[in-house]
Amino acid sequence: MKKLVFSIIIVLTISLIIVGFLPSPISPVAYSAAKPQKLIGILAVNKLLQNAELLVLGEINGPEEVVVDSQGRVYGGTQDGKIMVLTADGKLDVFAETDGRPLGMQFDKNQNLIVCDADKGLLSINPQGKISVLATSVNGVLLKFTDALDISNDGIIYFTDASSKYGKNEYLYDLLESRPHGRLLSYDLATGQIKLLLNDLYFANGVALSQQEDFVLVNETYRYRILRYWLKGPKAGTHDIFIDNLPGFPDNISSNRKGTFWLALFTVRNDFLDNLHSSPFLKAQMSKLPKVLWPKPEPYGLVLALNESGEITQSLHDPSGKHLKEITSAREYDGYLYLGSLHNDRVGKYELP
């Protein structure tokens, strides 16, 4: 037994020495995260999400974003590049195949499904499932990680490139590096004109327009905050912080266009990770390790409701993570919240009171 323990220690020591001499794939900087707010008051832990109905359980692979069309059919993009549709009679079919990784999606006024595909860029898919590419670059810089979107009434798509440096399989590198590689962009469906609105964002994720479309929100996942970019009025073209120091990692956000935003949080904050950010050296070493050795997200389901003043008005939890976890989208439709997940095998359907 002593020989076995000694051998394990020797192997680990040699492995650490080898790792120490390997070049790091990232160039990290220090970041001091604010102490997370406690889950009390409006954020108090509950089990409301455990009441959600589970759709297509075990039949779908990572529906990161979920949308519902005018006929009540539910769509979700999967890890193998498909966009699945759940019909009103409960049948699950393939609507389209992008051969990439479909993430954020939304229907335009002509019932085309506009899709942010992490690999393929900004896409439009007509009702028959035919795919057209709208954009793959902006100002000569490729869309490395096309992520989330919302569409205005006048046909402007507001969307994000989560990171112009790291792709979908490297998002943890972006987290550890703590440098701003994300972008907020717009695309005019009528003219094809594309614009860069905001640069230097810390993993630009979810996008949502306000009720009057006078501002658009964009999540900075790795800063635990949401920014507000003003589209109209005296502040047009400027941005500010909408809400800061969130209790988890903000992913997608949607608007019910009645004054409420629904924010999906991938998981709650991680003290180990927050403390690790203060040491670029340790982050560089961790980036060299196999990803199976990296800190795992806590299995937790969390959705917040926000008003247009940036105040949290409701929180929905599944602290066990056994029913719903790693929630990456929450979209309101006809009295229900439809909940997607980056890795889970189900779609949640939560009835709103």
DSSP symbol at 347: E
Q: Is 306 left (phi over 0), alpha (psi -120 to 50) or beta?
A: beta
- Return the CATH number of 2-351, one of 3.40.1080.10, 2.120.10.30, 3.40.50.300, 3.40.50.720: 2.120.10.30
pLDDT at position 5 is 38
Residue 314: CB atoms within 10 A of its CB come to 17
Task: Return the structure tokens found at 223.
Answer: 């800063």
CB-based burial of residue 205 (10 Å sphere; 0-12 exposed, 13-18 middle, 19+ buried)? buried
Contact 131, 125 (CB under 8 A): yes
pLDDT at position 21 is 63
pLDDT at position 89 is 86
Q: Give pLDDT tens digits for 208-263.
A: 999 999 999 999 999 999 999 999 999 999 999 999 999 999 999 999 999 999 99
pLDDT at position 8 is 41
Low-confidence ranges of the chain (pLDDT < 70): 1-21
Q: Where are the alpha helices (DSSP H) in 50-120?
A: none
Contact 81, 111 (CB under 8 A): no
Sheet holding 121-125, edge to edge: 102-107, 113-117, 121-125, 131-135
What is the dihedral sign for C-alpha 302, 303, 305, 308? positive
pLDDT at position 82 is 98
3-state percent helix, strand, coil for the chain, nearest multiple of 5 = 15, 40, 40
For the chain, give every domain's residue range. Answer: 2-351
- 160, 166, 172, 173: CA torsion to nearest 10: -140
pLDDT at position 20 is 58
What is the dihedral sign for C-alpha 278, 282, 287, 289? negative
pLDDT at position 292 is 86
| Prediction pTM value | 0.94
